[in-house]
Amino acid sequence: MNTAEAVAPVAALSLSDVHHRFDRHPVVKGVELSVAPGEVVCLLGPSGCGKTTLLRIAAGLEVLQEGRVGLEGETVAAPGRRHVPPEKRSVGLAFQDSALFPHLSVLENVKFGLKSLPSGKRRERALERLEQLGMAEYADTYPHMLSGGQQQRVALARALAPEPRLMLLDEPFSSLDARLRDQIRDDTLHVLKNVGAATLLVTHDPEEAMFMADRIALMRDGVIVQTGTPRELYCAPCDPFVVTFFGEVNELYGVVEDGKVSTPVGTVEAGWLSEGSEAVVMVRPEALRVSERDECGRAHVHSHVVMAKLLGRSSLLHLCAHGPDDAEAHLHARVPGVFLPAEGQPVDIHLDLSQVFVFAASGTAAGA
């Protein structure tokens, strides 16, 4: 075998054992993360978990306290030894509050970072980016004449214009309204993939991360809990936090007996947990297939409707399931389209086991 084939490409960005404290309070705790050339990685997590701090460390805006930051194999930050300043890191930055230069027009703002290009090319490239982000018609206006969302799009165009090898984006779509956001996300992803820029994008929105990311790094309280493709995080979550971060979930508790846990909606495998220990069975609302009582098969669980609400593309049912031994459980089910059985109507539930996850009840990871 050719040894060159076996060598992994040098990461566009690598963060090794990064720790950070503010006033002795640790906010980043031993993070390991890399972004491959051309890859889009989303740093996802709740407010205050340390995402922005990590991005600022990667950009050089925050001085690294512990660990190492590498860009394309070169160490750009190592405490006490090296701190390459942000402007020398050749990264494109777009932050939530990215300030545009107020005295420059939109076009001049985007041209600003293109000094290395011949002047004719600069205008062409800047207009191309503005066009891609739906802002070409505002080329000659000034930032104060734009809405917050429009300013954000110009900031994105400015960051993307020089086609940097690494893009660092912090909540770049946050001030856009919902409809525009979908469009701009789509256009931004297209530009990132066209340019082949490695990207680390911070968001607290799981759907945004799933749309944008090749890989997601889910963070909680300064620690990366799980890294993987959107599908890996959604379909093989490593702990209860990962399950709940992607949406509402029903939690049922039971004791492990003969490697299984019995719940009012069915029995699930839990052979990797200790016998007699308490387990939590997490059931996504879409894991419950609900049908009218007369379609009942043996595998189905009897239940009745407590409440049904139409949410638009789906219906939300509040159900009371009647398991064996008179055990009852209240559950939320999400059914595609319009399905609005009357209050009190008997229905049957069938469990889609691919959307059911079992963990030790203490909350520690106990996955297969």
> Residue 224, Cα to own-chain centre: how many angstroms?
12
209 is a contact residue toward ligand ATP (CB under 6 A):
no
CB nearer to ligand ATP: give 48 or 324.
Answer: 48
Q: Judged by CB under 6 A, which of 89, 111, 204, 334 binds ligand ATP?
A: 204
CB nearer to ligand ATP: give 31 or 308.
Answer: 31
CB nearer to ligand ATP: give 31 or 319.
Answer: 31
The region of 41-49, 113-121, 179-187, 188-196 touching ligand ATP under the rule CB under 6 A is 41-49
Nearest alpha-carbon partner for 305 in 337, 335, 267:
335
Residue 55 C-beta: closest distance to ligand ATP, Å: 8
CB nearer to ligand ATP: give 46 or 259.
Answer: 46
Cβ within 8 Å of residue 67, ≥6 positions away = 15, 16, 17, 18, 19, 30, 31, 78, 79
27 is a contact residue toward ligand ATP (CB under 6 A):
yes
Q: Is 345 helix (H, G, I), strand (E, B) or coil?
A: coil
Residue 22 C-beta: closest distance to ligand ATP, Å: 3
Residue 171 C-beta: closest distance to ligand ATP, Å: 7
CB nearer to ligand ATP: give 216 or 305.
Answer: 216
48 is a contact residue toward ligand ATP (CB under 6 A):
yes
Q: Judged by CB under 6 A, which of 13, 35, 44, 49 binds ligand ATP?
A: 49
CA dihedral 195, 197, 202, 203 (to 10 degrees): 40
223 is a contact residue toward ligand ATP (CB under 6 A):
no
97 is a contact residue toward ligand ATP (CB under 6 A):
no
Q: How many residues belong to the site for ligand ATP (CB under 6 A)? A: 11
52 is a contact residue toward ligand ATP (CB under 6 A):
yes
230 is a contact residue toward ligand ATP (CB under 6 A):
no
Q: What contacts 24+ positions apart, CB below 8 Å, involve 361-365?
A: 361/253, 361/277, 361/278, 361/279, 361/280, 362/278, 363/239, 363/240, 363/241, 363/280, 364/239, 365/238, 365/239
The region of 51-59, 70-78, 160-168, 205-213 touching ligand ATP under the rule CB under 6 A is 51-59
The region of 48-56, 66-74, 148-156, 295-303 touching ligand ATP under the rule CB under 6 A is 48-56
CB nearer to ligand ATP: give 50 or 206.
Answer: 50
Q: Judged by CB under 6 A, which of 47, 116, 354, 364 binds ligand ATP?
A: 47
Q: Are 339 and 290 in contact (CB under 8 A)?
A: yes
334 is a contact residue toward ligand ATP (CB under 6 A):
no
172 is a contact residue toward ligand ATP (CB under 6 A):
no
63 is a contact residue toward ligand ATP (CB under 6 A):
no
Q: Which two three-digit tokens encode residue 272?
A: 């990797």
- The CA-to-CA distance between both ends of the chain, in Å, stands at 34
31 is a contact residue toward ligand ATP (CB under 6 A):
no
Q: Which two three-digit tokens encode residue 195?
A: 């340019």
CB contact burial 266-299 (16+ within 10 A = b; e otherwise): bbbebeebeeeeebbbbbbbbbbebbeeeeeeee
135 is a contact residue toward ligand ATP (CB under 6 A):
no
Q: Which two three-digit tokens encode residue 44?
A: 């996802």
95 is a contact residue toward ligand ATP (CB under 6 A):
no
- 163 Rama class: left (phi>0) / alpha (psi -120 to 50) / beta: left
> Residue 272, Cα to own-chain centre: how many angstroms?
28
DSSP 229: -
> Given the rule CB under 6 A, which residues bind ligand ATP?
22, 27, 45, 47-53, 204
